[in-house]
Structure 1
Amino acid sequence: MNKKTTNLCPCCSAKPYQECCEPYHLWVKNAPTAEALMRSRYSAYAMRNAEYLIKTWHPKTLPKRLDETISEAKWIELVIHRSWDSDIDNEAFVDFTARYRNINGKAEKMHEISRFLKQGEHWFYIDGEFI
């Protein structure tokens, strides 16, 4: 692999990680939209960054044992179908499909509509509905 390919962001934006999700993971910048937070959370799953996932999950819906839910799956591709703001202030949704290989190497995918809430300058993942 060439160096440029290995530095692409896991969120499939086609941007280098340093210019895409890394500033969010390092808390240098806040994700400006629900979609940007969704992409950064996908990258965090791909990189097994539990701390970032915990800090961007709304405290009211945060699982008690998140570290155990981060599997050894290999995340392959993120496709954002659409994102939109709700009629409720500071709420937004992202419809996406994530493809991955499970720990046994079997290709799988999950399709979810995730709900996000903005509090102050920060977006938080609330919950999602599997399609």
Structure 2
Amino acid sequence: MMELPQQPCTCGTSEEYARCCGPLLAGEQTASTAEALMRSRYTAFVIGDDAYLADSWHSQTRPADASAPKGVDWRRLRIRDTQAGGPDDATGIVEFIAHFRTADGRRDFLHERSEFVRENGRWVYVSGAIL
């Protein structure tokens, strides 16, 4: 697993990794919003943090293998829309586009509308619809 403490966070904010998604992936903080969880999950895909991906997935919808796909070079995350998912909400939706390259160099993207809920007081990913 790659770490990026002094580098800009891969989730697309202008913050350093150590002040953005880093504390979430390290378990030092929990996401305050559904969008923050979405961004941290994207970063987990980028750096290959399979444990974080599994831990941030709802217990009822988590697959047996929640690991990031191999051979994918995640390039950029764009948040298109958010609905609810704030610090005081119980549910939220985040629509995003994640650009990537495959092992053979082909460019592609994932456009998803993801659902999030609070489970045991913290945001978790439930499911997503590919758009």
What is the TM-score of this pair, normalised by structure 2?
0.88
Identity rate, percent: 33
Greater share of helix residues, 1 or 2?
Answer: 1
Task: For residue 59 of structure 1, report the CA deviation from its aligned partner.
Answer: 1.2
Q: Quick check: 30-39 or 100-109, which moved more?
A: 100-109
For 1:21-49, what per-residue CA distance to the aligned partner results, in whole angstroms no more than 9, with x for missing partners?
00000111110000000000000000000
Question: Counterpart in 2 of 1:32?
Answer: 32
Mapped partners of 1:73, 1:128: distance in 2? 19
Question: Counterpart in 2 of 1:70?
Answer: 69
Q: What SS does the corresponding residue of 1:24 show, helix, strand or coil?
A: helix
Mapped partners of 1:116, 1:63: distance in 2? 16
Answer whether contact 2:58 2:119 (CA < 8 A) is retained.
Answer: no
Task: For residue 104 of structure 1, report the CA deviation from its aligned partner.
Answer: 1.2
Task: For residue 105 of structure 1, report the CA deviation from its aligned partner.
Answer: 1.1
- Return the letter of the residue paired with 1:117: V
Question: Counterpart in 2 of 1:44?
Answer: 44
Q: Which runs of 5+ in 2 are unaligned?
A: 1-5
Question: Counterpart in 1 of 2:83?
Answer: 84
Compute the RMSD of aligned alpha carbons: 1.4
Task: For residue 113 of structure 1, report the CA deviation from its aligned partner.
Answer: 0.3
Q: Which runs of 5+ in 1 are unaligned?
A: 1-5
Answer whether contact 1:50 1:70 (CA < 8 A) is retained.
Answer: no
Q: Quick check: 69-78 or 56-65, which moved more?
A: 69-78
Answer whether contact 2:79 2:95 (CA < 8 A) is retained.
Answer: yes
Question: 1:1-131 alignment to 2 at 5 Å?
Answer: 7-67=7-67, 69-85=68-84, 90-131=90-131
What is the TM-score of this pair, normalised by structure 1?
0.88
Runs of 4+ in structure 1 over 4 Å off = none
Count of residues in Structure 1 that have an aligned counterpart in Structure 2 = 123
Q: What SS does the corresponding residue of 1:66 show, helix, strand or coil?
A: coil
> Considering only CA atoms, is the larger Rg found in Structure 1 or Structure 2?
1
Q: What SS does the corresponding residue of 2:44 show, helix, strand or coil?
A: helix
